[in-house]
Amino acid sequence: MSLLDQITYKTKYFKSSEELIEKIINKTVVPYQLEVQPGRIKGKKICWMPCSYCYGGSSENDGQRLDPERYLDIIDQTNNGPNGNITKIIYAGYATDPLNYEHIDDLIEKSINFGQVIGIHSKLIKISDNLVNLLSSNKIVDTSYLTVSVDGGDDKSYNMAHSLTPNVKVYNRVIENIKKITSNSKNNSIKLDVSSNYLVTNVNCSKDEVSKGIDNLIEAGVDSIRFSFPQLPRGIDKHEGTIIPNREQVKKIYADIKPVIDQYKDGKTKVILIDYDADKQINEVRTLPCFSRFIYPAISYDGYLSNCSQSAATHFKDMSLGNLQNTNFWDAFYDYDEKDIFNFMKKEFEKMIKNDCRCDRKEHTVNQIFKEQLSSIF
């Protein structure tokens, strides 16, 4: 599968909708992947930055966390399932950054030792030397990856994109942290895919900023760079007053920076510009039926097993699958009425509408497949 297929959500999360439905009814379904979103234990802030485009910016910090030992126990459970093991663990965050969690090294090390494919999504403001070494271990499974969010080409554009004060010096630190990982992996002949995402907004979209950003990331040793445009986050319905470009602005920015990005098309580092909504504008808040819980559930920073990465937060607790502080992972995952699955799913839809959850593009795409193939049922 090509890099472009992977980052445009063409990865096959299931072979067929009919086969997946059969496994759901028989309670033999195993998630394609599990996303783990650990939150920082100390301090009031659950993330490093107050990014205005953050999908989880409206999330609240109630201070509830899984015990570190319990987290490790849950990763153990994912590798000992009644119908098979979860072979892919993504460490990311809806309103958090996984590397801001004090015990993240222990979780990632356990996944690596289990032979699970790992994915890490982070702004990489900090990383321990221990984790740098773990990511260059010969136990790293092929297709494991690190994706670093670097939304700027210098301190000025980076700070504006992340709502930071002008005098903050973070950008160069992130670039240096990327270099630590890529150079260490290269020295140990380990192929960890290291990529960068650059969310294009109204404050980091000049040709000069884009060009500098690409040059710095190439020098840092990344394998690919993806430029794309953010969606409006939950709780915000209009582009006005935000740094998030509307459709007309996206078209203009796209036309402006595409020639810059095309200059790098023959280079070793893949540089891609994607307007996900160009051919299919996502107008719906959510696409139902929603099968996320069976394909890629997520553990939120408060310890609840959630339907997906976008509902992994405190204000979605009443639609969660269970509290993993005192519930076995698989007991929570299989806690549904398989004898009347379609009625169960419709009741879940009502909860989703009530709680105003939103799909991200991956979830829209996958759920749309179900919607089209199972239109006679739902």
Q: In the Cβ-directed half-sphere of 190, how many Cα atoms lie within 13 Å?
A: 22
Q: In the Cβ-directed half-sphere of 191, how many Cα atoms lie within 13 Å?
A: 3
Alpha-carbon span 323 to 304, nearest angstrom? 4
Alpha-carbon span 171 to 212, nearest angstrom? 12
Q: Residue-wise pLDDT tens for the chain (378 aa)?
A: 444 454 455 556 777 778 888 999 999 999 999 999 998 888 767 777 777 776 665 566 666 788 999 999 999 999 999 999 999 999 998 778 999 999 999 999 999 999 999 999 999 999 999 999 999 999 999 899 999 999 999 999 999 988 888 888 999 999 999 999 999 988 777 779 999 999 999 999 999 999 999 999 999 999 999 999 887 665 555 566 678 888 889 999 999 999 999 999 999 999 999 876 655 545 556 777 788 999 999 998 889 999 998 888 777 888 999 999 999 999 999 999 888 888 888 888 888 888 888 777 778 778 877 777 666 555
Please state the pTM of the whole predicted model.
Answer: 0.91
Residue spans of the domains in the chain: they are 3-373
**What is the pLDDT at residue 1?**
45
Pick among 3.40.50.720, 3.20.20.70, 3.40.640.10, 3.10.105.10: CATH of 3-373: 3.20.20.70
**What is the pLDDT at residue 364?**
79
Determine what percent of the chain falls in helix, strand and coil, rounding each to the nearest 5: 40, 10, 50
Indicate the helix (H) or strand (E) that contains 254.
helix 247-262
**What is the pLDDT at residue 166?**
85
Alpha-carbon span 216 to 238, nearest angstrom? 33
- Cis bond upstream, residue 82 (ω within 30): no
